Structure 1
Amino acid sequence: MSKLSIDELAVFAKKKGFVFPSTEIYGGMAGFFEYGPLGVELKNNIKASWWKTFVQSREDVFGLDGSLISSAKIWEASGHLASFSDMLVQCVKCGKSHRADSLVEDTLKINVDGIKADALNKLIADNNIKCPECKSDLKPVESFNLMFPVQIGAEKTKDSTAYLRGETAQLIFAAFRNIVDSSRVKLPFGIAQVGKAFRNEISPRNFLFRTREFEQMELEFFIKPDDRKCLLLEKKHLDLAFFFYSAEDQEKKKEHSQTKISDMLKKKKLDEWHAYWLAESYLWFTGLGMKEENLRVREHTKTELSHYSSATFDIDYNFPFGWKEIYGNANRGQFDLAQHMKHSGKSLEIFDEDEKGRIVPRVIEPSFGVDRAFMSFLYDAYNDDTERGNIVLKLHPKLAPIKVGVFPLINKLDKDARKVYDMLKDEFACTYDRGGSIGRRYARADEQGIPFCITIDFETLEDKAVTIRDRDNTKQERIKISKLKDKLGELLNQ
C-alpha cells in the first residue's frame, strides 16, 4: 500500500476537492468534515454500490430512512444512555481531556481494547503517563457518555430532551413492527439503512477515522431463534480465504494468519448465518478493488464484546496508523427487540408459519462505516507514479467520481469535442477540460481518478473516431464515435 501518512492524505483530499475541514473560514471544528465536489461523488458511489448489492439486488432486504433525532426512550432501552461511553482522563493543570485508551495505546504501543477503568489507571500510574499537552499529571479515569442531547420545543420538561442518534441500528429496531406489518415479510429477512450518526468523541483523530458526525451503512438481518442452517451459504463463501486475527492469537500476542470461512465454522467461531454475512461483506470490499493484503478479519476478545453480542468480527484495514476497524459484524441475538418490547410495552414478535406461533427473531448485524470505507478506498487507490510524474488514483470504475474526461487536442477542435461531450454526459459522469497541454490534462485526470479519457484530434474530422486512454496502464485505443457509448459501457462495467 501507499506509504502516505494520514496528514498527507488529508492534504491531498483537500487539494483535489475530496474532503475539507468543516466551516474552515471560522477555524473549523474538530471531528467535522465536508465532502467536496469529488468527495461527494465518491461517497455517493460507495453508498449506491452498497444499496444496490445489499438491498435492491435482494428479495429479502427492505430499506428504511429513520429520523436523525429520536426519543430518549429509544436510547434508554438500547442501553446507550447508561453505557455508551468512552474512558476519559483530564489534565490536572491545563484541563485538556484525552481518551484514556487511545493515550495509553499511543504511549505504550499496546492494544487495550476492552480494558476497564481500574486497569487503565494502573497502566497510567505504572508507566508515569503524563498529559501530552503540558506534561502534567492526569486525574483518574472516568466514564464519558458519547450521546448528543437535543432540546425539543421551547419548554424544558422531563420529556423535552431527545438525542441525535448514536447509531442507525436502533431506528431499525424501533421501526420493526411497521415494516413487518406493511411489507409482507417472512423470516429470514433484513432491514437496511444508510445515514448519519453522531458521537461526542473525546478526541477526534486520524482524519475521517474518528469523527463526531459520520455515516453508516447498517443491516439488521432477522432469523428464527433456533435457525443455524443458512441455505444462502455457498462454496464461494466457504472457500473465502483471508487474514484472520483470532481472540486466542491476540491474547498470546501472536500475529494474524490465513484462514477460511469453512475453517471458522469447523472451529465453531460463528454460526452459518454469521459466516454468510461476514463473507458477503468481505466480498463487497474486494469486489470494489480493495486489496486483500490490506484487509483482515479480527475476532473480538471476551473482554471487549459489547453487552448485546455473543460474537463479533471486525474487518480491519491496514492504515499507516495501524490495523483499524472499517466494518463490524455482531451476533446481537434477541437483545434489541426484547429490550424495546420491555421498555415500550409493545409486541415485536412475528408470526412464524412453520412454528404456527409468535416468536422474537434473533439478529445478525453487518455494519459498515461509510467514511472509513471512503478513506480506505482512497488509500488503496493512491499511487505515486514516478514514471508519469504525478499521482494516479486507481479507484474502481464503479466508485470513480468522474467516469470519463473529454479533451480537445487543441482549442480549434472545441466545437467537435463539445459534441462528443454532449453525447456522453447524460449517460456517464463526465468532465470537459481544454486547459493546458494534453499531458497536463491527463495528469489532472489521473489525480481525480478518472478511468478513461477521450481525446478529439484532427484525425477525428476525417475518420469520425476518437482515442480512449486507460488511466491504469495509459494504453490508447481508437474507437468510432458511433460505437463510443457501447465501448465505455463495456469498459466501466468490467
Structure 2
Amino acid sequence: MFLHSIRRRLQLLGEKLPWYQRNISKYNTHYDNCDKTSLLMQLCADRYYISPEAFHTRNCTYGPLGTELKKNITKQWTSAIRTRAYVFGITTSVQSRMCEESVKVVNVSALQEILNQDSLTKKEACQKIQMLMKDCMSVRTSLLQGALQQYIKVLELVNRTLPFGLAEIGLCHHSDSQLRHLSCCSSEVTESSLVWFCSPRTSSQWMDYWAHQRLQWWRKFALGPSDFSMCNVVDEELKEGTSHGVKVLYKFPWGSETLETLWSLGDTLLLKTHQGTCTKLQCKDGRKSVVPHVISVSANVDRGILAYLFNSLQLLRKTDSKQKLHQKMVLKLHPTLTPVKVALDMGRGFSSELRQVCEGLFKEFLEAGISTWPGYLDTSLSMENLHTKYDEMGVLFTVMVSESTLKSGLLLVRNRDTTIRETMHISEIKCFLLKYISASENF
C-alpha cells in the first residue's frame, strides 16, 4: 500500500505540481500591519541570502544561499533563451571605449591631489582634470554594445542567415540617475542580455514573440504570477532609433519596478557601430540582402532575485504547544530556484551509526546533483526550531534519519509547502527527489 502511494504521488508530479500556484490562500494568511520589506530583509540577512552590509551600503552582496539562488536564476534564464536555434553565448569586456553611455572610473586620490594644488589656476586645474578623465577607464552600462561589435564575426557561423541571437550575462555599472528606491540595488548590477538579429519584415513579430516569452518565463517560477506584468514604453522614454519598447514589471510593496526591458532598435545602432561597412552587415532574407533589425532584451538579475524573494515570502499564523499565536515566515521559492532542495538531519540515538547513514545519503544526493544542507552536523536545535530555520531558508524537503532507519530503512520526510511528514524507504528517497525536481522544471 505504501509503495502504491509513492508511485501514485510520483505519477501526479509527472503531470503537474498539485501544490504549486493552487490553494495559495490556504497557506497565505498575511498580517495586515506587518512590514513585509523589513521582514524579508532581516530574513535574507539571517539566512545568508543577502549579507548585512547590503542594508547600509549601495553594494548588493550575496551570502551562500543568495549566490546559489542567483546561479539557479541565471541558469534558467540561459536555458530559456538558448531554446531557440542559433542563439550563441558570448563574453565581452567590462571595459568600454566606444559606448557613449559608459561610466568613468576615476582615481579619487589623483583627483584629490589636483584639487589640493593651490598654486594651480582654475584653467590649469581644469586641464589636469580633463587629462585625468581622458586616461580613466570606461566601464559599460549595458551588454548591448558588446554584442553589436561581435555581430560581423558571428555572420560566418550562421552563413549570413537570419534570425540569430547573441546572449550574455555580466556586470554592468549604472549611474546614480539609474538607481531607485532600494538600498541593496547597487551601481554594479548583473545584467542578462539577448540581442536578436532578424529581417526588417519580421521584426515586429519577433518583438511580440520575445515579449510574450519573457513575461511567461518570469511568471513560470512565481508563487503569485499576477504580481508580474507587462507594459509598453511611453514615447517620451524611447531611445534614439527605437521604434518600440516593452517592460516586464514586478509589483513591489513600494510600487512597480522594471525587471526586463525589450527594445525594437531597427538598424540604426548596428550601422552606427560598424560605420562604412554596410555591405558587410547584410544577411540573406529570401532572395534579398538586407541589414538586419535588432531587438534587445535585457534584464536586471539582481532586481529579479529580489522580486522572487518578495513573491515567495509567506507570512503565516502558527500556534505553539502552549496555544500562543506566532507569526511564521516561509520562503516558498520555486523548487527549481530554491538554493537547498534537501536538509539532512538525524534524530537522537546511536549517533555514530546515524551519522554514517547521513554521510552516505549526503554523498549520494550531491553526486546526483541535489543540493543538500548537512543539518546532521549540528544537533543542538529542536525539531520545531529546525523546521522554522529550514522554512526561512526555503529548503524544500527535510529528511530525518532515526533509529527506525537503522532497523527498517524508513526515513521521515517533511514537505516545506504542505508541512506533511511521511515515511519513505531509504532506497526510494533519491529517485523521489529527482523526479519531484524534474517535474517542477517542466511545470
Check the 8 A contact 2:401/2:411 in 1, yes or no. yes
Letter in structure 1 aligned against 2:145: Q
Query: Paired residue for 2:312, among 377, 381, 400?
Result: 381
Check the 8 A contact 2:223/2:332 in 1, yes or no. no
Consecutive unaligned residues of structure 1, counting only runs of 5 or more, are 82-146, 229-270
Check the 8 A contact 2:411/2:424 in 1, yes or no. yes
In structure 2, the CA distance between the partners of 1:215 and 1:323, relative to structure 1 (3 Å rule), is same
Indicate the structure with greater helix content: 2
Query: Paired residue for 1:429, among 371, 382, 386?
Result: 371
Q: Output the CA distance in 2 between the equivalents of 1:284 and 1:398.
A: 13
Corresponding residue for 1:261? none
| CA drift at 1:347 | 5.8
The alignment partner of 1:414 has SS state of helix
In structure 2, the CA distance between the partners of 1:23 and 1:216, relative to structure 1 (3 Å rule), is closer
Aligned: 1:148 with 2:104: yes
Letter in structure 2 aligned against 1:385: L
Corresponding residue for 2:330? 392
Check the 8 A contact 2:86/2:158 in 1, yes or no. no
| CA drift at 1:439 | 2.0
Cα deviation 1:278-337 (Å, max 9, x = unaligned): 111011111112522212212121112222321111111110111121111111111210
Query: Paired residue for 1:59, among 75, 85, 92?
Result: 85
In structure 2, the CA distance between the partners of 1:432 and 1:174, relative to structure 1 (3 Å rule), is same
In structure 2, the CA distance between the partners of 1:52 and 1:417, relative to structure 1 (3 Å rule), is same
TM-score normalized by structure 1? 0.70
Letter in structure 1 aligned against 2:371: A
Check the 8 A contact 1:208/1:375 in 2, yes or no. no
Corresponding residue for 1:193? 168
Letter in structure 1 aligned against 2:61: E
Q: Output the CA distance in 2 between the equivalents of 1:491 and 1:437.
A: 27
Consecutive unaligned residues of structure 2, counting only runs of 5 or more, are 1-27, 111-127, 320-326
Aligned: 1:75 with 2:99: yes
In structure 2, the CA distance between the partners of 1:299 and 1:442, relative to structure 1 (3 Å rule), is same
The alignment partner of 1:400 has SS state of coil
In structure 2, the CA distance between the partners of 1:157 and 1:371, relative to structure 1 (3 Å rule), is closer
The alignment partner of 2:88 has SS state of strand
| CA drift at 1:21 | 5.3
The alignment partner of 1:195 has SS state of strand
Corresponding residue for 1:40? 67
Letter in structure 2 aligned against 1:338: L
Identity of aligned residues (%): 23
Q: Output the CA distance in 2 between the equivalents of 1:185 and 1:150.
A: 41
Aligned: 1:307 with 2:240: yes
Corresponding residue for 1:403? 341
| CA drift at 1:397 | 0.8
Q: Output the CA distance in 2 between the equivalents of 1:193 and 1:290.
A: 27
Aligned length: 373
Q: Output the CA distance in 2 between the equivalents of 1:421 and 1:430.
A: 7
The alignment partner of 1:281 has SS state of helix
In structure 2, the CA distance between the partners of 1:395 and 1:381, relative to structure 1 (3 Å rule), is same
Letter in structure 2 aligned against 1:337: L
Query: Paired residue for 1:479, among 421, 424, 428?
Result: 424
| CA drift at 1:209 | 6.7
Alignment of 1:6-405 (within 5 A): 6-20=37-51, 30-55=57-82, 57-71=83-97, 74-76=98-100, 80=101, 147-149=103-105, 160-182=135-157, 184=159, 186-202=161-177, 204-207=179-182, 210-227=185-202, 271-342=204-275, 349-352=281-284, 354-357=286-289, 359-387=290-318, 389-405=327-343
The alignment partner of 2:235 has SS state of coil
Structure 1 vs Structure 2 CA RMSD: 2.6
Cα deviation 1:449-493 (Å, max 9, x = unaligned): 011111112221122121221100111232222222110011112
The alignment partner of 1:70 has SS state of coil
Check the 8 A contact 1:21/1:32 in 2, yes or no. no
Corresponding residue for 2:357? 416
